[in-house]
Amino acid sequence: ACLLQGVINTVAGAPPTASNTLNTSFLQSLFELEEIERIAPLFKGNKFVAALRSDYDPSSLVAVANSKLTQLELLSLDLGYQPKALQQTRTDQLLVQLIEEDARNIRYAGRIQDIGVRAKLIQANFTKIATTRLAKELIENTLQNRQATKRI
């Protein structure tokens, strides 16, 4: 409430007093973070609300996003607290769904951490890969992974 009142006083141009002085430099720095820029459209461009909501579990933000690509971007932001293993599992599941919905999304297969799943998707959708260069990169990156010999 004090923060909101300080912002209102600052915007309204109220003369600063001991009770309504607000140092907005930290808030301004928060507004300039890439994460806030990316999630602000979810709050109708309101960076203030986006900054206040940025510490929540991102799964609620991801759930309201319409596009799976937007969901993928939100998951990659590292918003709030989420264990890396859980974040990667969510990301892998979303990538698999994207590829299953439209095989042209095979270009995102390189971001899947589970090498076995990645290899199976590349094999199943090999003819859908847009360019030979992309096919070569996907195969090479998959085979060069440390876990490739164990998982494939």
Q: Is residue 6 one of the residues assigned to a domain?
A: yes
Would the pLDDT of 96 be above 90?
Answer: yes
Question: Does residue 100 share a domain with residue 42?
Answer: no
Q: Is residue 115 one of the residues assigned to a domain?
A: yes
Residue 141, H or E segment: helix 132-144
Q: What radius of gyration, in Å, describes the C-alpha atoms of the chain?
A: 22
Average pLDDT over residues 56-67: 68
Domains held by the chain: number: 2
pLDDT of residue 34: 78
pLDDT digits (tens, 9 = 90+) for 66-89: 788 878 777 776 655 566 777 788
pLDDT of residue 65: 75
Q: Rounded to two decimals, what is the model's pTM?
A: 0.57
Question: Does residue 94 share a domain with residue 49?
Answer: no
* Best CA proximity match to 143, nearest among 131, 152, 134: 152
Q: Is residue 142 one of the residues assigned to a domain?
A: yes
Average pLDDT over residues 90-116: 90
Q: For 147, phi and psi rounded to 5 degrees?
A: -85, 0
Question: Does residue 145 share a domain with residue 92?
Answer: yes
Q: Is residue 128 one of the residues assigned to a domain?
A: yes
Q: Is 54 helix (H, G, I), strand (E, B) or coil?
A: coil
Would the pLDDT of 14 be above 70?
Answer: no
Domain span holding position 134: 84-150
